[in-house]
Amino acid sequence: QGAEKKDFKVAWSIYVGWMPWGYAADSGIVKKWADKYGITIEVKQFNDYVESINQYTAGAFDAVTLTNMDGLSIPAAGGVDTTAVIVGDFSNGNDAVILKGKDKLADIKGQTVNLVEFSVSHYLLARALESVKLAEKDVKVVNTSDADMASAYKTPDVTAVVTWKPIVSTILESPDARKVFDSSQIPGEIIDLMVANTTVLKDNPSFGKALVGIWYDTMKALASDAAAKEHMAKASGTDVAGFDEMLGTTKMFYEPKDALAFVNGAELKTTTERVSTFLFDKALLGKDAKSAGAIGVEFPDKSVFGDKANVKLRYDATFMQAAADGKL
Amino acid sequence: MRLLNIKPDRTWSFALAALPFAALIGAYLIGSGMRLAENPNDKLLPSFNAMLDAFRHMALTPDPRSGNYLMWSDTLSSLSLLLTALAISTFIALVFGILIGLLPIAGTTFGPVVAVASMVPPLALLPILFIVLGLGDGAKIALIVIGTTLKLIRDMALRVKDIPSELLIKAQTLGASTWQIALRVVLPQMLPRLIDSVRLEIGPAWLFLIAAEAIAADSGLGYRIFLVRRYLAMDVIIPYVIWITLLAFLMDLGLRLLQRKAFPWFAGARTA
Amino acid sequence: MRLLNIKPDRTWSFALAALPFAALIGAYLIGSGMRLAENPNDKLLPSFNAMLDAFRHMALTPDPRSGNYLMWSDTLSSLSLLLTALAISTFIALVFGILIGLLPIAGTTFGPVVAVASMVPPLALLPILFIVLGLGDGAKIALIVIGTTLKLIRDMALRVKDIPSELLIKAQTLGASTWQIALRVVLPQMLPRLIDSVRLEIGPAWLFLIAAEAIAADSGLGYRIFLVRRYLAMDVIIPYVIWITLLAFLMDLGLRLLQRKAFPWFAGARTA
Amino acid sequence: MTGIVFDKVWKEYGDHVVLERIDITIAPRSFVALVGPSGCGKTTFLRMLLGEEAPTRGQILVGGAPLKVEPGADRGVVFQRYSVFPHLTVLQNVMIGREFEHSRFLGKLLGAKRRAAETEARTLLDAVGLAGHETKYPAALSGGMQQRLALAQALNRKPKILLLDEPFGALDPGIRADIHVLIRKIWNENDLTVVMVTHDLSEAFRLGTRVIAFERPRNRPEELERYGATLGDDLAAQTQAGASITRDFEVWPKKIASPLGESDAGTQLDLKLATSNDNPAAS
Amino acid sequence: MTGIVFDKVWKEYGDHVVLERIDITIAPRSFVALVGPSGCGKTTFLRMLLGEEAPTRGQILVGGAPLKVEPGADRGVVFQRYSVFPHLTVLQNVMIGREFEHSRFLGKLLGAKRRAAETEARTLLDAVGLAGHETKYPAALSGGMQQRLALAQALNRKPKILLLDEPFGALDPGIRADIHVLIRKIWNENDLTVVMVTHDLSEAFRLGTRVIAFERPRNRPEELERYGATLGDDLAAQTQAGASITRDFEVWPKKIASPLGESDAGTQLDLKLATSNDNPAAS
Ligand SMILES: Nc1ncnc2c1ncn2[C@@H]1O[C@H](COP(=O)(O)OP(=O)(O)OP(=O)(O)O)[C@@H](O)[C@H]1O
Ligand SMILES: Nc1ncnc2c1ncn2[C@@H]1O[C@H](COP(=O)(O)OP(=O)(O)OP(=O)(O)O)[C@@H](O)[C@H]1O
Ligand SMILES: [Mg+2]
Ligand SMILES: [Mg+2]
């Protein structure tokens, strides 16, 4: 590392907020922007989200799509200095707590809750429990693979799940499924990002520019081109109606200025502190972490939450700013 | 007459063989019917009609996005990975199996490490594999190869050791060198036995293929199953599973035929 | 002297056997060293110290939350599932293997369905399995049983068919009924062979156990591996994998010893 | 009575006629030795007698009644190989027949019955010269010992007919002589009809009261090929392809009730059988 | 010259002494028949001659030089079983020796060389009576045919010493007589020292120029057990436990260069060998 390079690899996984990357790769938008900067960008689809982050953390990819929380707990905690280049959206109802046959969130007390441990679902559960003055010890958490969540719900043993779309939609088709809490009640806390390796980005700013360029071109297509939307819907294994339903609970930032407003807002700092605290409680900031601030997070205004000597996650608005200013 | 002396004739054989299949289908129909009666939108045990629809959709209607027939392009992509991987495993197993089985030096050197390595659960080491091998088709092939090749090697080595020592002595008295023995005595006798071993590895190979496609892929039978699993689209999954089973069965049958045709001496020598 | 006639003596054997292991460890050390030099926090190939730390943390320090030693409670939970499942498979395989191999009627009835079913990739049908068996330990055991038992049955049936027909005839001339033949001639001859077959299924059994624990669990070796995979804690995963390998190896060894001790006649009869 | 009648028996496998019009009556208490070149159908003949194979045409009568279509306890057998159970000790191998007989469900005797069966088995083992080897497994025995064990095992069930398929083919001459004495002894002292296949003509004449020779006809397809003949009339060639009896000797002098006393081993056995209490052959 | 000398050879497996002080000189061009009871060490003797096993003490000299410690092309062998390659046709089985000799790398001959080897092999097959079976696999041959094939295969490499371990033990008498003629013929017409293990004394005397008998001593542990003796002096029992040569006959009249012409088959073979062009044995 530390040198200029020409060939970049980007990993993305199947999730409503990241489906544009698949379309961008297939439709030639990626190539268009890569050519413009004289580089090549390989866009690789992952079905397994965690594996895509692991691969990025291990250095096999230069950029990856992930949530703010996973960015902190996996690459940043793994010592990989990571910069959020694009803030694409936040979950606004995509993630939900679902109870079988019970209408109130408080009924979750004492139940076994199936979810992907240490994922945003776990965080959502923590936030949900907080809202009804419960703690995680009031429930029993069983780690359950996201791929099998839908079928797991069909078994009598499972009475409470926390998961995300499209699994949420599938589960809600069951007549006994009740959504008792969702991410729209904690807006802006589960943020979907495109992050890149900070060193790579510093040495190759054109890579960041290309990413942003690709993204907002694709956003335009998604907003206006029915074929593009159909493509994304298909690729995520559903139809346009299903995809629209998911988009409805996703706060997409179609314009750079919307994303800028969000990333420059004060809310982001509170969220970061909350997430860091959650991760610290779960010992996910590394074994040596002494406090929730063990890993420093830098914001666009260069202010830092936590350890300034150990900044590993950075929200960088300059690329989105360039897009907003038409300077790509 | 003792039960073990009763041999059903052709018609009876056929009827008896069909029985369990009929029972399975019947059980499915009843289960599916019950669930659908309760909730007509139930996705878990779809009706045969629903599966037929899904099959038609996947196999007989071109995908508007790519113009491909999805099921066929999935099949093509999976099969090419699978067959490449099996070919590689087979080759490696043949070489190392003969080395380990025939040469005491190679046996003591590689025997233990192969025995230990074949116990490692490859799925747990996926991250390392993917880093080392990248994520392309190469990694998927490698996973299948790693998952199947060690057992194949052990199998081959055992079968090489099963060759009566008389034959190896005889070859030496005919002036054969180690290399000539490997090439003209051991190798040709191993080929049909290799087919038996490979047949046993078809199942694991599919397993690893599906696991690999579940992690990173954009086509393939395992990928499709994984993709639609989030929607609990059993109407797609079940036909795909049946199709995979059929493919595996046909591969097995093909290998059996190959064995019979290519090694006419083997059937006689095996029973002797 | 021909290469195939050179037999290394004890010291040489030991040195040769150690060679590949040393090479593997060396390769790991170099790879790990290189990655750590670049990024001291690298998680993919942790140093031996880091792994030792993690091992100490998992195996020798009680978990503050539950007070358990995590590695031991994981091991206990996994092993009890695995052994229960293997016991069930073994029993089923023995019964059906003997039925299918010994009785032509049972063979024609169940042979084809077992052959086809053993080709079905069990992981793809998990959802249906869940419905029938729920999500608890039962389902995990069932997955392992389904994953291993069909192959075991086929294996057993083949080995029953391998019994020289002379022995079955002889038993009949001694007045044995089908039941007596199954009980006193076939069963005892199958037991040591069953051990061979079960040894081959230890690997797949672990695989299915890990897969099952990845689906829904709150303890177990596979659970832990998949959990910590979320933050690429290879320093935990690698000791766990080594531990699983060791367990599998010990099980294999135990079965081999059992075979030797419990069936003293077998070694002689096999070579005959 | 245990006379055996082959009534115009044919045996064919598909197109291949193995045995052709076998028409023979075997008197009770005979010791028939069956000789003939390899592949002529001797084993096939024996397998039909066993009930393992059914004749394609004709029928087999035993004691006047049609042969049971499956092997049974009235016909004992010793094959050249695989005649004893590898997983049972010598003693267990002999006892198992009795266990099958008296324990329908478990196939295993306990208590007094077991002790009785064991004594009986030990006597038999003593008679065949295997005393002292009771706890060994067959794999630890030599070929000759295995065959003696197989004989003891078969005899323990007291069959009316004893079928032997080259039982001594793999033994060395000294042991073979011993065992010849043994088999004659056994035949003499039990109400037994013996049919033995052998390759060895001298063995056949030494032991048999009657020697039957099968001949493989020259015009079998492979032979034809070899001798370069053309097949000519297909049907004729086919119907003539089976082996049939070509020679049938009565051996004189009649051997019944004249034990071979000349050899040492013979007298030794004699003594052993005579001193045993519950061996019915000795009473 | 291919004289063989066993110079005070002992063979032990762990504590078990199998052969004890074998001291014997075998003249070139002998036909030695080795007899003895089962388990006395005949096969072990042959395996040491082959170079498959090394003596525990003493040494073996062939043609004056110590024996090569591994099997080689100078010593041919025919075992009772597994003597031919099941995956090769009859013709290929015979040719393979020549292929090993002339094609170091591929082990396969092509073109003219192949045709020459094929002609040579066909002549040999003709001599052993397997003409017409060239394209069959061994599994399709009878036991006698397989052994004849094994002989042809071994002879094709023109060994100086031919080792036979009960090669005809499983054959029926007619076929055995034929093959006796054949082996005598082969021995007569080639510069060959033959060492044959057999169970059959008459075979030994018919074929051998010299018959050597091994004896299994009575005081082997299992025998001791059987005869109820106590072991007494352990060491003495142990050192005496090996078989050694007990009798050694020269067979008269000397048989060299006197082919057995009496039997039909013999003359037939004679003719075949005489009319073939490139069989060196016939020239
Ligand atoms: N199940 C079978 N199917 C087809 N052909 C068979 C079968 N069993 C035997 N034969 C054929 O029947 C013929 C006689 O075989 P059989 O075993 O009775 O000969 P045999 O006289 O016992 O020979 P040997 O002395 O070698 O034991 C052979 O040509 C054999 O190939
Ligand atoms: N590799 C071995 N390890 C230990 N003991 C052996 C080995 N090979 C042979 N023996 C023993 O040496 C003795 C002689 O065996 P060998 O095979 O030479 O006898 P044999 O005379 O050929 O008998 P047979 O006539 O049965 O073929 C036997 O007691 C046998 O158990
Ligand atoms: Mg026979
Ligand atoms: Mg021997």
Report helix, strand or coil for A178: strand
Q: Is 70 exceeded by the pLDDT of residue C59?
A: yes
Give the up-direction half-sphere exposure of residue B197: CA atoms within 13 A in the CB hemisphere.
Answer: 27
| Ligand 1 nearest-atom number relative to CA D41 | 18
- Of A131, A161, A134, which is closest to residue A145 (Cα–Cα)? A161
Q: Is C8 exposed, middle or buried (0-12, 13-18, 19+ CB in 10 A)?
A: middle
C20 lies in a domain? no
Query: What residue owns the CA closest to ligand 1's atom 6?
Result: D13
E111 lies in a domain? yes
How many structural domains are present in chain C?
1
pLDDT recorded at residue C73: 93
C92/D contact by beta carbon, under 8 A: no
Rounded to the nearest integer, the mean pLDDT of chain D is 78
Q: Is 80 exceeded by the pLDDT of residue C24?
A: yes
Average pLDDT over residues C133-158: 90
C212–chain A nearest CA distance, Å: 10
pLDDT recorded at residue B62: 87
> Mutate which of B230, B232, B237 to test chain A, going by most A C-beta atoms within 10 A?
B230
Which carries the bigger pLDDT value, residue D250 or residue A108? A108
D101–chain C nearest CA distance, Å: 6
Cβ contacts of C169 on chain D, cutoff 8 Å:
50, 52, 71, 77
Contact C178 B3 (CB under 8 A): yes
Q: Is 70 exceeded by the pLDDT of residue C244?
A: yes
The residues that bridge with A313 in the sheet, in sequence order, are A82, A297
pLDDT recorded at residue D238: 41
Average pLDDT over residues D148-156: 93
Other CB atoms within a 10 A radius of the CB of residue B155 amount to 22
B106 lies in a domain? yes
Q: How confident is the model at residue E15 (pLDDT cuts 50, 70, 90)?
A: confident
Q: Is 70 exceeded by the pLDDT of residue E253?
A: no
Average pLDDT over residues A92-108: 94
Q: Which of D77, D107, D140 sits opposite C184 (nearest CB)?
A: D107
Could you give the angle at the alpha carbon of B171 between the alpha carbons of B167 and B176, nearest 5°? 150
Q: Is 90 exceeded by the pLDDT of residue B216?
A: no
Rounded to the nearest integer, the mean pLDDT of chain A is 92
C264/D contact by beta carbon, under 8 A: yes
Query: What residue owns the CA closest to ligand 2's atom 7?
Result: E13
C228/A contact by beta carbon, under 8 A: no
**Single-letter amino acid code for the residue at E153:** Q
ipTM confidence score: 0.80
pLDDT recorded at residue A238: 85
Mutate to test the pocket of ligand 2, among E9, E10, E16, E18 (most ligand atoms within 8 A of CB): E18
B267–chain E nearest CA distance, Å: 9
Q: Which of C173, C184, C268 sits opposite D72 (nearest CB)?
A: C173
Report helix, strand or coil for E211: strand
pLDDT tens profile A180-216: 999 999 999 999 999 999 999 999 999 999 999 999 9
Report helix, strand or coil for E200: coil
- Of A71, A95, A73, which is closest to residue A83 (Cα–Cα)? A71
Report helix, strand or coil for E207: helix
Query: What residue owns the CA closest to ligand 2's atom 20?
Result: E39
Cβ contacts of E153 on chain B, cutoff 8 Å:
170, 174
Q: Is E39 in the pocket of ligand 2 (CB under 6 A)?
A: yes
* Residues belonging to chain A with any Cβ–Cβ distance to chain B shorter than 8 Å: 14, 22, 44-48, 51-52, 54-55, 58-60, 146-151, 154, 166-167, 170, 173-175, 230-231, 234-238
Cβ contacts of D50 on chain C, cutoff 8 Å:
169, 173
Looking at all shown ligands, the one closest to residue D20's CA atom is 1
D128 lies in a domain? yes
Cα separation, D216 vs D33, whole angstroms: 17
pLDDT tens profile A249-283: 999 999 999 999 999 999 999 999 999 999 998 88
Average pLDDT over residues C133-144: 86
- Residues having C-beta closer than 5 Å to ion ligand 3: D 43
Other CB atoms within a 10 A radius of the CB of residue C107 amount to 22
Q: Which of B21, B118, B241 sits opposite C121 (nearest CB)?
A: B241
How many angstroms does the Cα of residue E141 sit away from the middle of ligand 1? 12
Could you give the angle at the alpha carbon of B195 between the alpha carbons of B192 and B197, nearest 5°? 120
Full domain range(s) for residue B118: 76-262
Query: What residue owns the CA closest to ligand 2's atom 5?
Result: E13
Average pLDDT over residues E125-135: 90
B65 lies in a domain? no
Mutate to test the pocket of ligand 2, among E15, E43, E53, E245 (most ligand atoms within 8 A of CB): E43
Cβ contacts of E145 on chain D, cutoff 8 Å:
none
Which carries the bigger pLDDT value, residue C123 or residue E71? E71
The region of weakest confidence among A54-68, A284-298, C128-142 is C128-142
| Ligand 1 nearest-atom number relative to CA D53 | 1
Mutate to test the pocket of ligand 1, among D9, D18, D195, D246 (most ligand atoms within 8 A of CB): D18
pLDDT recorded at residue C131: 75
pLDDT recorded at residue C93: 95
D58/E contact by beta carbon, under 8 A: no
Q: Is E41 in the pocket of ligand 2 (CB under 6 A)?
A: yes
Chains D and C touch (3+ CB pairs under 8 A): yes
C49 lies in a domain? no
Contact E81 B164 (CB under 8 A): yes
pLDDT recorded at residue A1: 47
| Ligand 1 nearest-atom number relative to CA D197 | 22
pLDDT recorded at residue B178: 95
Full domain range(s) for residue E136: 84-141+149-158
pLDDT tens profile A80-90: 999 999 999 99
- Of C129, C158, C155, C132, which is closest to residue C144 (Cα–Cα)? C129
How many angstroms does the Cα of residue E63 sit away from the middle of ligand 2? 27
How many angstroms does the Cα of residue E141 sit away from the middle of ligand 2? 29
* % pLDDT > 70, chain A: 99
Contact B215 A47 (CB under 8 A): yes
E30–chain D nearest CA distance, Å: 24
Give me the helix-helix angle, C234-262 and C70-102, nearest 10°: 40
Cα separation, B88 vs C198, whole angstroms: 27
B105 lies in a domain? yes
Q: Is 50 exceeded by the pLDDT of residue D222?
A: no
pLDDT recorded at residue D246: 66
Which carries the bigger pLDDT value, residue D16 or residue B90? B90
C208/A contact by beta carbon, under 8 A: no
How many angstroms does the Cα of residue D199 sit away from the middle of ligand 4? 20
Among E residues 130-149, those touching chain D with beta carbons less than 8 Å apart: 131-133, 142-144
How many angstroms does the Cα of residue A201 sit away from the middle of ligand 4? 79
Specify whether the CB–CB gap between D127 and D269 falls below 8 A.
yes
pLDDT recorded at residue A264: 93
* % pLDDT > 90, chain D: 31
How many structural domains are present in chain D?
1
Cβ contacts of E156 on chain B, cutoff 8 Å:
174
A249–chain C nearest CA distance, Å: 26
Cβ contacts of B25 on chain C, cutoff 8 Å:
none
Q: Is D43 in the pocket of ligand 1 (CB under 6 A)?
A: yes
pLDDT recorded at residue C68: 85
How many angstroms does the Cα of residue E47 sit away from the middle of ligand 4? 10
pLDDT recorded at residue D278: 29
C263/D contact by beta carbon, under 8 A: yes
Cβ contacts of B7 on chain D, cutoff 8 Å:
none
Q: How confident is the model at residue D1 (pLDDT cuts 50, 70, 90)?
A: low
The CATH number of whichever domain residue B223 belongs to comes to: 1.10.3720.10
Average pLDDT over residues A37-41: 94
Cα separation, A195 vs B248, whole angstroms: 41
pLDDT tens profile D27-69: 888 999 998 877 788 888 999 999 988 899 899 999 888 988 8
E97 lies in a domain? yes
How many angstroms does the Cα of residue D200 sit away from the middle of ligand 4? 20
* % pLDDT > 90, chain B: 60
pLDDT recorded at residue D232: 35
B21 lies in a domain? no
* 3-state SS track over A207-251: HHHHHHHHHHHHHHHHHHCHHHHHHHHHHCCCCHHHHHHHHHCEE
- Of E82, E147, C204, A70, which is closest to residue B272 (Cα–Cα)? E82
Contact C252 B202 (CB under 8 A): no
Query: What residue owns the CA closest to ligand 2's atom 9?
Result: E44
